[in-house]
A and B are shown apart, each in its own frame.
Chain A
Amino acid sequence: EAGVAQSPRYKIIEKRQSVAFWCNPISGHATLYWYQQILGQGPKLLIQFQNNGVVDDSQLPKDRFSAERLKGVDSTLKIQPAKLEDSAVYLCASSLDTGTSKQYFGPGTRLTVT
């Protein structure tokens, strides 16, 4: 079974530039999550999708972050404009549904903002 795919694996940008991350969840998984993991901390949930609808985006900084999951499969997370404090690993995860099912994580995208 293929796992959660993410790209790119690494990205370096200057502050005020924009960046986008892509995630392809495990086939058949209805729920998709984006997390931000700052160095030395645990992952923090940014947004959760159920199919192509948003379940929770309460911790997403909406003035600069946006995410979409068109067609209920792949998802993109965008930051525009980036700030220095956005430097982190961005993890994508998926699960079968929002019931008692475990989340499967991708390898993450490491973003460095200079």
Chain B
Amino acid sequence: DAKTTQPPSMDCAEGRAANLPCNHSTISGNEYVYWYRQIHSQGPQYIIHGLKNNETNEMASLIITEDRKSSTLILPHATLRDTAVYYCIVRVTGNQFYFGTGTSLTVIP
């Protein structure tokens, strides 16, 4: 049970904002949303996480809806190096991650 659903693929023009949606309608009140990305032949890399408030760091912003059933990862100025598979993950008790199939983001020059 992946607990999250994401579109399989998206394109974004270089320099524009990339908005990646995720549905997690069955999330429980104490379960965090994490975002990771995986560049070809590498291990997943942490991007950001949140519980119910919006979060921002040097890589991205995370917008979580008030009912917590969905979230959006925003890469403010996409570059070619942001081309990767992005995973939206629900973290359950015991720090266990449930990965879905992710969104393959292609940044176009």
Question: Which residues of chain B are near A107, meaning CB under 8 Å?
Answer: 41-43
Q: Are B101 and A41 in contact (CB under 8 A)?
A: yes
Q: Which residues of B contact A (CB under 8 A)?
A: 2, 32, 34, 36, 41-46, 49, 87, 91, 94-102
Question: Which residues of chain B are near A88, meaning CB under 8 Å?
Answer: none
Q: Are B96 and A45 in contact (CB under 8 A)?
A: yes
Q: Take A43-B44, A43-B99, A91-B43 as given contacts and tell me if A100 and B94 are in contact as well, using a CB distance cutoff of 8 Å.
A: no
A25 interfacial by beta-carbon distance below 8 Å = no
22 examples of A-B residue contacts, CB within 8 angstroms: A42-B2, A43-B97, A43-B99, A44-B99, A45-B96, A45-B97, A45-B98, A48-B95, A56-B96, A93-B43, A95-B95, A97-B95, A100-B91, A100-B95, A101-B95, A103-B46, A103-B97, A105-B36, A105-B43, A106-B43, A107-B41, A107-B43
Could you tell me which residues of chain A, from 35 to 67, have a CB within 8 Å of some CB in chain B?
40-45, 48, 55-56
Number of interface residues of A (CB under 8 A): 26
- Assembly CA distance A102 to B98 (angstroms): 13
A31 interfacial by beta-carbon distance below 8 Å = yes
Of the candidates B2, B44, B100, the one having the most CB atoms from chain A within 10 angstroms of its own CB is B44
Question: Which residues of chain A are near B96, meaning CB under 8 Å?
Answer: 45, 48, 56
List the B residue with the shortest CB-CB distance to A9: B41
